[in-house]
Every structure is written in structure tokens, then in C-alpha cells.
């Protein structure tokens, strides 16, 4: 099966500019996650979708970050305006089911290759 | 919320050595996953193991849920095992990630 697709792989922008990242999850995966990973740290969940609804966006800086998953398939994460501290890798992941619920392989996360953002 | 602590933070070994990575968590969980992040940044799921023992080739994992820890064993290390190993746990709907163990395997 095809993996989780992300684009672009790399992006360099000036502070205060905007950027958008795209993610296409594994076919049939209902749950989609966006994570931010700063160099040397573990992934930090930004937002979790179940189909096209938001399950958790408590750590999303909503004044500058937005995300959507309009048809319950692919998703876009936008940053506007970008700050220096937004420099990170943005990881998209998907799972068949939410983290809790159906157990076993249903809530195992599969990650894309990530989108590396550098803000100058 | 649940706290996750991984040890050791760094580990340097010669090729062929065995290693044990530990993940301690502060509360009961119903989901525990081990991931490997290679030097190019790709995160790969190694095990889904909220309890019990699993093996996959040279890797195996054991979770003792009642004592709130999980162990990842790597035998006969290869240079391709280098990278960061993360443990992530959940008691509800959100995975909580540890800080990772950085493993370097020298040829």
C-alpha cells in the first residue's frame, strides 16, 4: 500500500511570510495527525482529525496556524505569519482508527517523510 | 497527564553489541508504541505493545503494564539501527511521547 505522502519536503521562507503543507494519508485511514518536531525533541501533536472533524487541537497556535481536512481525506496545514520559532519538521501521520478504541493494528501510526521548514 | 521517561538519553555501541532501552510511564495506558527515527528523519513504527512481549527479527519489546514500563531490546546491532528511539503512550485518545533515546552504532 502507498504510504503517507507529504509535500513540499523542504521550504525556506522569511519571517512573516506564509506557508502551506499538504498531506495525503494512507487510503482508508480515518485518523490524521499533524505533528511539529523541533530539532532534538520528540514530536508534538498540533492537531488530530477523525474523518473531517477535529478531535484535538489544544496545542495548535491558532493565531497563526490553521489546518483543514475538508473531505476527510487529504489535509493542509498553514502557517501565517511565520515566526523564527516555527522552524521545524512538520510530520503528518495517519491511523486506521483513533489512538483509543479498536486496538491492535487499528491505531498504529504511520508517518510521512515530513516537511522541513526553515524561517529566516 | 501521563508522564513518559526514556532512558538512557544517549547510547553509543559497537556494531554487534546488544542494547536495552527503557520507557517508564506514570499511569495506566491502553496504547504503547515504539518508533525508530532514522538519521534522515523518517519515523517508523516498530511495535504496538500495550502489554506482553513481541519480537520482530533482531528487535523485541516487552511491556509490563502493572509496573508501568516497557523495554526495547536490540540484538546484534547494525549501523542501520542508529537513530532515535521513541516510546509513545496513551491512556485516552492522545499519544504522549518520550524524549527519545539516541543510539549510535559504530562500525
Interface test with A, best of B31, B49, B54 (most A CBs within 10 A): B31
State whether the Cα torsion A65-A112-A58-B86 is positive or negative.
negative
- Name the least confident of A7-21, A42-56, A89-103, B48-62: A89-103
| Closest Cβ–Cβ partner in A42, A55, A110 for B45 | A110
Long-range interactions of A32-35: CB distance < 8 A, separation 24+: A32/A69, A32/A75, A32/A92, A32/A93, A32/A94, A33/A92, A33/A93, A33/A94, A33/A95, A33/A109, A34/A67, A34/A75, A34/A77, A34/A90, A34/A91, A34/A92, A35/A90, A35/A91, A35/A92, A35/A93
A106 touches chain B (CB under 8 A): no
Share of chain B above pLDDT 90, in %: 85
Chain-chain contact of B94 with A91 (C-beta, under 8 angstroms)? no
Min Cα distance A58 → chain B (Å) is 11
Residues of B in contact with A55 (CB under 8 A): 93
Residue A1 pLDDT: 66
Share of chain A above pLDDT 90, in %: 76
Contacts of B84 (CB under 8 A, 6+ apart): B36, B37, B100, B101, B102, B103
- In this predicted structure, the answer to whether residue B21 has a pLDDT above a threshold of 90 is yes
Amino acid at each position: 500500500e502507498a504510504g503517507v505522502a507529504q509535500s513540499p519536503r523542504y521550504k525556506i521562507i522569511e519571517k512573516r511570510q506564509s506557508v502551506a503543507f499538504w498531506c495525503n494519508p494512507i487510503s482508508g485511514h480515518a485518523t490524521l495527525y499533524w505533528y511539529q518536531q523541533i530539532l532534538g525533541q520528540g514530536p508534538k501533536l498540533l492537531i488530530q482529525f477523525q474523518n473531517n472533524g477535529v478531535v484535538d487541537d489544544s496545542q495548535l497556535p491558532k493565531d497563526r496556524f490553521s489546518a483543514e481536512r475538508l473531505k476527510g481525506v487529504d489535509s493542509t496545514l498553514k502557517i501565517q505569519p511565520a515566526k523564527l520559532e516555527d522552524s521545524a519538521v512538520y510530520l503528518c501521520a495517519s491511523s486506521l482508527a483513533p489512538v483509543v478504541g479498536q486496538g491492535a493494528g487499528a491505531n498504529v501510526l504511520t508517518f510521512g517523510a515530513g516537511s522541513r521548514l526553515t524561517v529566516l | 497527564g501521563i508522564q513518559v521517561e526514556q532512558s538512557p538519553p544517549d547510547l553509543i555501541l559497537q556494531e554487534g553489541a546488544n542494547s536495552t532501552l527503557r520507557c517508564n510511564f506514570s499511569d495506566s495506558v491502553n496504547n504503547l508504541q515504539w518508533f525508530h527515527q532514522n538519521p534522515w528523519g523518517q519515523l517508523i513504527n516498530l511495535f504496538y505493545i500495550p502489554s506482553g512481549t513481541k519480537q520482530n527479527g533482531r528487535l523485541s519489546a516487552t511491556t509490563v503494564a502493572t509496573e508501568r514500563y516497557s523495554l526495547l531490546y536490540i540484538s546484534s546491532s547494525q549501523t542501520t539501527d542508529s537513530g532515535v528511539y521513541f516510546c509513545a503512550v496513551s491512556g485516552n485518545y492522545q499519544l504522549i511521547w518520550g524524549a527519545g533515546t539516541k543510539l549510535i552504532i559504530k562500525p
